[in-house]
């Protein structure tokens, strides 16, 4: 028999449209709509909070549903004043704001499991993934509000569109419960998460949560508290622009709640070139920011990407980039020779750098970085690192430490790790390093 949901809809036409959306979704997922309180397994009350009389009517309706049925989810305008609802009716199961059909559905799923669907139930809750079972990418938004002159992503994918925080957190929770050991947060601009929806308040596990990077990251860092498979989980952040609010998450890294790893695409160090590139956060003092991050979290790994030979780049400006590299001592760095993508505004800039010179600068850049990387990895010799195993062959195991994102960074080769399996955690004592990878012996 289908699970039954009762529905009380109060308020204006906008609220009515929200009710219709929720009812349609409930029906589409196979729930039945109950015409009475006692036949319902739970009741959704869509409230109005416009004037005092509407607030009272809504609170009364919630009270009635609680008295008659006992299991109530509150949504709508009064839900935006979550404290008021919880103060008056502490027994409600969940409270969401207006236009929150996704969050209401999550609350329904949490308290009244979806009926079996022979088509979609072939797909596990964490979805179908193309990555190995032990790590997964979590996409938090699509598109981008910036207009970097070398990039055509905004014209292909449009402006920033952040996913609802409730949906993102539910996906992360499903991944963690399915045994994923590492979640990699991706987007075009992770620091901008929620700007497009004015940091709207969403809901996760019945609690309000702002659509904002700091709040998202804090919630992700609490996934381990769910226990079970989620207890030991790495959360790694990619594409974080160095805005001031990024500083707020570094203490979480220092406390071990978030992987001490930041992928920050700096692209250049010359203020004039950054301006020509129209880079976000181009006015920030990146060296100072990196120093401050390291002061709070000395173990932080900083990865970045750069472009050499951008149109108009002089030898002096390129050297400025090399100086930045020497001073910043980044851990992981990629460099591309500028490539004129069809449709990018930068192609029309004066004084393009000849292709050969672009390549030459890229090679000089990488030679400098190789020395830095070798120096930094050498410091790890003798240290004990926790690693996550990616693959095992006759030679031993290949794993990654907190400093290594899959596919783009280095690896840790483990001698004597043949008994390990992909997805296992291991403790390794580092014995050797080159400019990219580490070699170690398993000690646990
Ligand atoms: S390079 Fe610039 S425009 Fe392109 S996606 Fe990144 S931030 Fe947006």
Does the CB atom of residue 266 touch ligand 1 within 6 A?
A: no
Q: Which atom of ligand 1 is nearest to the CA of 150?
A: 1
Q: What is the pLDDT of residue 18?
A: 79
Testing ligand 1's pocket by substitution, the residue of 139, 140, 148, 159 carrying the most ligand atoms inside 8 A of its CB is: 148
Q: What is the pLDDT of residue 98?
A: 78
CA dihedral 321, 326, 329, 335 (to 10 degrees): 40
Q: What is the pLDDT of residue 67?
A: 94
Nearest CA among 398, 378, 403 for reference residue 442 = 398
Distance 362 CA to ligand 1 centre (A): 21
Q: What is the pLDDT of residue 302?
A: 96
Distance 148 CA to ligand 1 centre (A): 5
Q: Which atom of ligand 1 is nearest to the CA of 278?
A: 2
Q: Which atom of ligand 1 is nearest to the CA of 151?
A: 4
Distance 160 CA to ligand 1 centre (A): 10
Give dist(CA 211, CA 192) in Å, integer: 10
User: Within a 10 A sphere around the Cβ of 181, how many other Cβ atoms?
Assistant: 21
Polymer length in residues for the chain: 444
Does the CB atom of residue 154 touch ligand 1 within 6 A?
A: yes
**This prediction's pTM:** 0.74
Testing ligand 1's pocket by substitution, the residue of 146, 147, 196, 274 carrying the most ligand atoms inside 8 A of its CB is: 146
Nearest CA among 120, 102, 78, 119 for reference residue 163 = 102
Radius of gyration (C-alpha) of the chain in whole angstroms: 26
- Counting as low any pLDDT under 70, the low residues of the chain are 13, 82, 116-129, 227-231, 282-283
Q: What is the pLDDT of residue 97?
A: 81
Nearest CA among 88, 87, 39 for reference residue 61 = 88
Give dist(CA 116, CA 113) in Å, integer: 9
Does the CB atom of residue 191 touch ligand 1 within 6 A?
A: no
Q: Whose CA is nearest to atom 4 of ligand 1?
A: 151
Does the CB atom of residue 153 touch ligand 1 within 6 A?
A: yes
Does the CB atom of residue 280 touch ligand 1 within 6 A?
A: yes
**Residue pLDDT, tens place only, 180-225:** 999 999 999 999 999 999 999 998 888 899 999 999 999 999 987 7
C-alpha 226: how far from its chain's center? Answer: 18
CB-based burial, 79-96: b 16+ in 10 Å, e otherwise: bbbbebbeeebeebbbbb
Q: Whose CA is nearest to atom 7 of ligand 1?
A: 146
Q: Which tokens in the block code for residue 19? A: 């009710």
Does the CB atom of residue 148 touch ligand 1 within 6 A?
A: yes
Distance 281 CA to ligand 1 centre (A): 12
Q: Which residues contact 187 (CB under 8 A, 6 or more apart)?
A: 139, 140, 141, 142, 193, 238, 239
Give dist(CA 408, CA 334) in Å, integer: 9
Q: What is the pLDDT of residue 81?
A: 75
């Amino acid at each position: 028999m289908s699970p039954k949901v009762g529905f009380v809809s109060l308020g204006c036409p906008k609220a009515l449209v929200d009710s219709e959306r929720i009812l349609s979704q409930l029906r589409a997922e196979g729930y039945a709509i109950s015409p009475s309180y006692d036949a319902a397994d739970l009741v959704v009350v869509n409230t109005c909070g416009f004037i005092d009389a509407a607030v009272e009517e809504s609170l009364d309706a919630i009270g009635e549903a609680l008295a008659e049925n006992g299991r109530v989810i509150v949504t709508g305008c009064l839900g935006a004043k979550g404290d008021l609802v919880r103060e008056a009716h502490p027994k409600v199961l969940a409270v969401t704001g207006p236009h929150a059909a996704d969050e209401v559905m999550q609350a329904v799923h949490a308290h009244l499991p979806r009926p079996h669907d022979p088509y979609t139930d072939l797909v596990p809750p964490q979805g179908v993934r193309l990555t190995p079972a032990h790590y997964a990418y979590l996409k938090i938004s699509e598109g981008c509000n910036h207009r970097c002159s070398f990039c055509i992503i905004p014209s292909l994918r449009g402006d920033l569109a952040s996913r609802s925080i409730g949906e993102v957190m539910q996906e992360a929770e499903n991944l963690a419960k399915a045994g994923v050991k590492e979640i990699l947060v991706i987007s075009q601009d992770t620091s901008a998460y929620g700007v497009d929806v004015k940091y709207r308040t969403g809901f996760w596990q019945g609690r309000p949560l702002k659509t904002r990077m700091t709040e998202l990251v804090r919630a992700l860092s609490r996934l381990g508290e769910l226990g079970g498979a989620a207890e030991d989980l790495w959360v790694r952040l990619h594409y974080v622009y160095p805005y001031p609010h990024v500083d707020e998450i570094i203490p979480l890294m220092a406390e071990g709640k978030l992987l001490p790893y930041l992928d920050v695409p700096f692209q250049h160090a010359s203020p004039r070139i950054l301006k020509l590139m129209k880079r976000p956060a181009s006015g920030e003092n990146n060296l100072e920011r990196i120093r401050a991050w390291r002061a709070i979290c000395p173990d932080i790994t900083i990865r970045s990407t750069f472009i050499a030979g951008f149109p108009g780049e002089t030898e002096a400006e390129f050297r400025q980039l090399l100086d930045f590299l020497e001073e910043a001592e980044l851990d992981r760095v990629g460099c591309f020779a500028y490539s004129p993508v069809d449709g990018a505004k930068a192609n029309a800039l004066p004084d393009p750098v000849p292709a050969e010179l672009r390549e030459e600068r890229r090679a000089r850049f990488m030679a400098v970085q190789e020395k830095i990387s070798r120096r930094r990895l050498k410091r790890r010799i003798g240290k004990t690192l926790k690693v996550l195993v990616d693959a095992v062959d006759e030679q031993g195991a290949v794993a990654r430490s907190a400093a290594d994102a899959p596919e783009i960074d280095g690896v840790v080769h483990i001698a004597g790790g043949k008994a390990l399996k992909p997805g296992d955690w291991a403790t390794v004592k580092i014995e050797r390093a080159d400019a990219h990878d580490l070699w170690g012996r398993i000690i646990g």
